[in-house]
Amino acid sequence: MFKKYSIFIAALTAFLLVAGCSSNQSSTDSEKKVTLTISAAASAQDALEEIQKNYEKDHQHITIQDNYGSSGALQKQISQGAGADLFFSAAEDKFKKLVDDGDIAKKDSTELVGNEIVLVVPKNGDSPVTSFSNLAESEKIALGTPESVPAGAYGKESLTKLSLWDKVKDKIVYGKDVRQVLSYVETGNVDAGVVYKTDALVSKKVNIVDEAKADTHSPIVYPLGIVKDTKHRKEAKEFYEYLQSDEAMKVFEKYGFTAE
């Protein structure tokens, strides 16, 4: 009888040890390192990097990898199958293309933040430009390529609305994204540039001399969405929700974005 009891105890102990190991293994598996890739508009870089640092501090098994560029170029990359878990666009039309094509589900998307268009000049230069009203006096103006850079498209809308486009179009130096446009102004290679307010605020080398009124261009909205082919849906969803949190929104507002 005692022998049978001893065998039972030994078997039970072995079972509990195996179960415990399985439980620990499951716990370890659930915390496996995951790298999320977010393709994001270049204009969101500074705000996103601070937000991501905060997020990674509380989610140490998550590493967020950024792919910054113009929204048009990023949209094409995702359409062609480039690996991305989330898309944060500065252009609604580029984002809508992915939704229409089934690359992002509408239920997994949201209009996250807004922005403004401003006119900037080199801080330590002698630019003749003091506002949009005398922009035509400049020799060179930097603008994002309207077909692929949302800030360039919004800028062209404003310049057209202000009856300036025909006067300045031959003076424009185009940039592949808004950060390149900002760089042209910072280095004094142009007299002025049209960029997002958020980019102008993080630069110590430019001055904002004018703001484009909201009625001179389409509403500037930054949509965010989870890419349908993500291999890390759970983690992507959690970060997607965090980006909409009050904590993240305070950082966006700190960098000049407006809450939608």
- Is residue 26 domain-resident? no
- Is residue 254 domain-resident? yes
| pLDDT tens, N- to C-terminus, the chain (260 residues) | 544 445 545 554 554 444 454 444 444 445 689 999 999 999 999 999 999 999 999 999 999 999 999 999 999 999 999 999 999 999 999 999 999 999 999 999 999 999 999 999 999 888 999 999 999 999 999 999 999 999 999 999 999 999 999 999 999 999 999 999 999 999 999 999 999 999 999 999 999 999 999 999 999 999 999 999 999 999 999 999 999 999 999 999 999 999 98
Q: Are residues 137 and 211 in the same domain?
A: yes
Query: Is 79 marked within a binding site?
Result: no
Q: Are residues 75 and 201 in the same domain?
A: no
- Is residue 15 domain-resident? no
Q: Are residues 184 and 240 in the same domain?
A: no
Q: What are phi and psi of 194, to 5 degrees?
A: -110, 115
Q: Are residues 121 and 209 in the same domain?
A: yes
> What is residue 160's predicted lDDT score, i.e. its pLDDT?
99
Contact 109, 225 (CB under 8 A): yes
- Is residue 13 domain-resident? no
The residues near 135 (Cβ < 8 Å, ≥ 6 apart) are 119, 129, 141, 159, 164, 167, 168, 192
Span 140-182, pLDDT tens digits: 999 999 999 999 999 999 999 999 999 999 999 999 999 999 9
Query: Is 151 marked within a binding site?
Result: yes
Q: Are residues 46 and 106 in the same domain?
A: yes
Span 182-204, pLDDT tens digits: 999 999 999 999 999 999 999 99
- CATH number of the domain that residue 203 is part of: 3.40.190.10
> What is residue 183's predicted lDDT score, i.e. its pLDDT?
98
- Is residue 24 domain-resident? no
Q: Are residues 99 and 128 in the same domain?
A: no
Query: Is 178 marked within a binding site?
Result: yes
> What is residue 6's predicted lDDT score, i.e. its pLDDT?
53
> What is residue 24's predicted lDDT score, i.e. its pLDDT?
46
Q: Are residues 125 and 208 in the same domain?
A: yes
Q: Which domain holds residue 134?
A: 117-216
> What is residue 30's predicted lDDT score, i.e. its pLDDT?
54
Q: Are residues 144 and 177 in the same domain?
A: yes
Q: Are residues 207 and 242 in the same domain?
A: no
C-alpha distances in Å from residue 169, one per residue of 126, 153, 191: 22, 13, 14
- Is residue 58 domain-resident? yes
The residues near 47 (Cβ < 8 Å, ≥ 6 apart) are 198, 251, 252, 254, 255, 257
Q: Are residues 179 and 246 in the same domain?
A: no
How many whole angstroms separate alpha carbon 76 and alpha carbon 72? 6
Length of the chain: 260
For the residues of 187-244, what is the DSSP string, one character each? TTSSSEEEEEHHHHHH-SSEEEEEE--GGGS---EEEEEEETT-S-HHHHHHHHHHTT
- Is residue 243 domain-resident? yes
> What is residue 9's predicted lDDT score, i.e. its pLDDT?
52
How many whole angstroms separate alpha carbon 37 and alpha carbon 66? 6
Contact 134, 257 (CB under 8 A): no
Q: Are residues 98 and 43 in the same domain?
A: yes
- Considering its fold, how many domains does the chain have in total? 2
Q: Are residues 89 and 54 in the same domain?
A: yes
> What is residue 124's predicted lDDT score, i.e. its pLDDT?
85
Query: Is 136 marked within a binding site?
Result: no
- Is residue 1 domain-resident? no
Query: Is 209 marked within a binding site?
Result: no
